[in-house]
A = this chain, B = another copy of it.
């Protein structure tokens, strides 16, 4: 499994993914699920992936290839596409094509594969936008009413987001919220695991403001995780029935 979460806030976007991939409980590996595409000053795009690794790796490789292709056009390259909506459509099409290719092979073995992605970004002259793209290539968009998107094991970490995230949440508070949301998920589901990849994009900067890998031994993450546990237990003991 996987857990990826993205926030679309007034001040920018915060995206966080884990890195655990498993084929059964006895075959666990670490793979990056966060991919950044950046042309500073022109556009910045971050993609997080969930689902079948064979699908997501192939889809990302095809997107990459299309960008570096000398014959790239706005219809084929996410770095040339004229809007974030077109970027989402292009990623959706790639994901759907790869999913159906691989599924066709799998059907003979009656297996099934799927993948989904969260893509957030901004291009010069456009708004920041964030989409959740399904395996079929269709997508939904984050809005002021629903300023966060999740893929993978989303339930454990949703209550904290429901309570604290709104469009006017600051980027610092947003980082804290996604880290605590991930912390709850890590505790409850073995198939979600450290290290984590964090990306922050500030509004209208058209570049990555912060990109960081948070390792298992990261002191800061351990501290906020412990502080949150302590705060929850303390809050709990203070409430009177």
**Could you tell me which A residues sit within 8 Å of B by CB distance?**
155-156, 158-160, 162-164, 172-173, 175-177, 179-180, 184, 187-188, 220, 224, 227-229, 231-241
Contact = CB atoms under 8 A, between A and B. Distances in A.
Contact of A188 (B155, B232, B239): B155
6 contacts: A159-B187, A160-B232, A163-B229, A164-B232, A176-B236, A228-B235
In the complex, the count of this chain's copies comes to 2
A220 B241 CA distance: 7
Given A176-B236, A188-B158, A241 B224 contact: yes
The 9 residue pairs across chains A and B that have the minimum distance between CB atoms: A231-B235, A155-B155, A159-B184, A227-B239, A176-B241, A158-B188, A235-B235, A155-B156, A164-B236
Given A164-B233, A233-B164, A239 B176 contact: yes
Contacts of A241: 172, 175-176, 179, 220, 224
Given A156-B158, A162-B187, A239 B228 contact: yes
